[in-house]
Structure formats: structure tokens, C-alpha cells
Structure 1
Amino acid sequence: MGKRQKASYHQVHSTKDIFCLRVKRMVDAYHKISISNIKLRAHKAPLRKEIELRTIPNDKTGIAEVRI
């Protein structure tokens, strides 16, 4: 039989997690992530690891929700 490969599954909690913009960023030594010159703080993110950000834009308000 062939070898099995582990599949990476993302946690899906709502439709926002399915229909979102995904971006990968590196966490720096101060638990910060930068997107378009905006610094976000990620307290529980592992240092110097790549994490995925899920951005859900809202056309009505012009504000985007960012999930880490």
C-alpha cells in the first residue's frame, strides 16, 4: 500500500472562514505581523513562525475583519 500524507485542515467556524482572503505572514520577535505598513499584534502566535491571516472585507462599512 502507498504512504499516507497528512492533510492540513483549516478550522471552519462560519461562512466567513470559507469566503475570505488568505495571506501568510511571519511573526517577528515582538509577536507582531505587518500588512501594508500596518502592524498587528498576535499574542498567542508562535515567534518566528509563518501563520495564516484570514481577511473578511465588508463593503458596506469599508472595514475588514482579520482572523489569525
Structure 2
Amino acid sequence: ASLLTQYAIFAGTFVVFELSWLTFYALLGVKTSNWLFEAGRAKLFNRLTGGVFISAGVMLSTANRS
């Protein structure tokens, strides 16, 4: 197949997967927004995600560069 055909297939595949992921992400946000608005849940969510980012930072800072 020509390079243009390969590029078109790649670009089309990317668009389909990207739109699917963004649609899923938006629907997840709509469904979970009510849950997050209940008392204390947003604070719990922020603490959990903050802990994930801190853990990722610690792991990156202790990783060997080889």
C-alpha cells in the first residue's frame, strides 16, 4: 500500500479511538459528578489523587537512570 493510504488508515484509526476515549471520559464525568458533590467525597477524591501523584513523584525520584 502507498504511504498516503497507510497514513489515512493510521489517522482514521487514531480519530476513532480518540473520539471513543473522549466520549467514555465525558460520560464517566457526567455519571460521577453527582457522587463527587456529596459531602466529603470530593475531599476524599482529592486526597486519593494527591496520594497517587505524590507516590508517582517518589517513584520517579528514586528510579535509576540507565
Larger helix proportion of the pair:
2
Larger strand proportion of the pair:
1
Please report the TM-score for the alignment, with normalisation by the length of structure 2: 0.20
Please report the TM-score for the alignment, with normalisation by the length of structure 1: 0.20
